[in-house]
A and B are shown apart, each in its own frame.
Chain A
Amino acid sequence: MPRLNTPEELECFRQKILSGRDPDKPCISICAGAGCIACGANEVIEAFALAIKDQGLSAKIDTRGTGCPGFCEQGPVVVIYPEKICYLGVTARDVPEIVSQTILKKKIIERLVFKDPATGAVAVHEPDISFYKAQERTLLCNNIKIDSRSIDDYLAVGGYMALAKALGSMTDVQVLEEVKKSNLRGRGGAGFPAGRKWEGSRNAKEAIKYVIVNADEGDPGAFMDRALLEGNPHSILEGLILGGYAIASHEGYFYVRQEYPLAVENIKLAIEQARDYGLLGKNILGSGFDFEVIVHKGAGAFVCGESTALMTSLEGRAGEPRPKYIRSNLRGLWNRPSVLNNVETWANVPHIINRGAEWFNGVGTDSSKGTKIFSLVGKIRNTGLVEVPMGMSLRDIIYEIGGGIPQGKKFKAVQTGGPSGGCIPEELLDLQVGFDELTKAGSMMGSGGMIVLDEDTCMVDVARYFINFLTDESCGKCVPCREGLRQMDKILTNIVEGRGKDGDLELLEELSETAVEASLCALGKSAPNPFLSTLRYFRDEYEAHIRDKRCPALSCKELIAFYIDPGKCRACGICLKKCPVTAIDGDKEKIHIIDQEKCTNCGTCFEVCPAKFTAVIKTSGAPVPAPIAQEKRMIIKKAPKKAQKKADQNE
Chain B
Amino acid sequence: MDKDRIDGNIELNTDQVIDGNIELNTDQVIDRVIDRNIDQDIDQDIDQLIDRIIDNYHGQASALLQILLDIQSVNNWLPGKALARISEKLEVPLSRIQHIVTFYKAFSLVPKGRHKLHICVGTACHVRGATRILDTVEQATGIKSGETDLDLKFSLETVNCLGCCALGPVMEVDGKVHAKMSPIKTSKVLKTYG
- A-side residues, CB < 8 A to B, are 34-35, 37-39, 71-73, 75, 217-223, 226, 258-261, 296-302, 313-319, 375, 377-379, 383-384, 415, 418-419, 449, 451, 453, 457, 462, 465-466, 469, 475, 557, 578, 580, 602-604, 607
Contact = CB atoms under 8 A, between A and B. Distances in A.
Closest 10 CB pairs of A and B: A221-B123, A300-B105, A220-B122, A299-B104, A72-B166, A38-B177, A220-B160, A377-B124, A383-B166, A316-B64
7 contacts: A34-B162, A72-B167, A222-B165, A223-B165, A316-B62, A377-B166, A451-B124
Interface of B: 61-66, 68-69, 92, 96, 99-100, 103-107, 121-128, 131-132, 135-136, 139, 159-168, 170, 175-179, 182-184
A604 B122 CA distance: 22
Given A73-B166, A375-B165, A603 B132 contact: yes
A465 B184 contact: no
Contact of A258 (B64, B69, B184): B69
Contact of A301 (B105, B124, B135, B178): B105
A298 B62 CA distance: 13
A316 B65 CA distance: 5
A417 to B, nearest CB: 11
B132 A318 contact: no
Contacts of B179: 35, 38-39
A415 B126 CA distance: 13
B127 A451 contact: yes
Contacts of B165: 72, 221-223, 375, 377, 383
A217 B177 CA distance: 19
Given A259-B159, A580-B183, A35 B164 contact: yes
A226 B123 contact: no
A73 B182 CA distance: 16
B158 to A, nearest CB: 9
Given A38-B164, A378-B124, A475-B103, 7 more contacts: A220-B161, A314-B62, A375-B165, A383-B124, A384-B166, A451-B123, A465-B123
B123 A299 contact: no
B167 A39 contact: yes
Contact of B160 (A302, A314, A378): A302
A99 B94 CA distance: 60
B127 to A, nearest CB: 5
Given A300-B105, A379-B127, A465-B123, A317 B163 contact: no
A604 B124 contact: no
A206 B7 CA distance: 49
A259 B170 CA distance: 14
Contact of A318 (B66, B99, B121): B99
A580 B61 CA distance: 52
A221 B124 contact: yes
Given A300-B106, A318-B99, A34 B123 contact: no
A453 B166 CA distance: 14
